[in-house]
């Protein structure tokens, strides 16, 4: 197994951040051939998703999260910015992990798929992510 941690800055807005290039760079460093890429975000207020980006799907996802988990005062978990409690519920819908097959050193993603960090927590603008490669 080969593993490393990276740090990303997400800014002060909810974001869908494409990590695919970071994952590909990691696989190159790992000398990956056949196996499994596992991505882990060790935060209680962020999740990972495999989805299309750049064609509106990332904005649609954030809009859906806003509808499903409104940023208001309904949440029992209340600290930080208004509605921050919803950020703590997010990982139940978008888990803090994702696994992708690696074939011939390349992520076996579909044509429009990307590995993405979904972070709605505007109070924490720096995130750590762990990439692990498990050889097959």
* pLDDT tens digits, one per residue of 32-45: 999 999 999 999 99
* pLDDT tens digits, one per residue of 70-83: 999 998 988 888 88
- Cα–Cα distance measured from residue 63 to residue 1, given in angstroms and rounded to the nearest whole number: 37
* pLDDT tens digits, one per residue of 64-111: 999 999 999 998 988 888 888 999 999 999 999 999 999 999 999 999
Q: Domain residues of the chain, as ranges? A: 2-135
The answer to whether domain 2-135 has CATH 3.20.20.70 is: no
């Amino acid at each position: 197994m080969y593993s490393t941690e990276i740090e990303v800055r997400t800014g002060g807005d909810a974001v869908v951040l494409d990590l695919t290039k970071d994952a590909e760079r990691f696989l190159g460093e790992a000398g990956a051939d056949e196996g499994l890429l596992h991505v882990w975000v060790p935060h209680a207020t962020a999740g990972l998703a495999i989805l299309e980006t750049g064609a509106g799907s990332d904005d649609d996802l954030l809009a859906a999260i806003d509808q499903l988990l409104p940023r208001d005062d309904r949440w029992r978990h209340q600290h930080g910015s208004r509605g921050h409690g919803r950020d703590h519920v997010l990982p139940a819908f978008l888990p803090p992990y994702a696994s992708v097959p690696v074939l011939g050193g390349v992520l076996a993603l579909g044509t429009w798929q990307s590995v993405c960090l979904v972070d709605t927590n505007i109070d924490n603008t720096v995130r750590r992510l762990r990439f692990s490669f498990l050889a097959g």
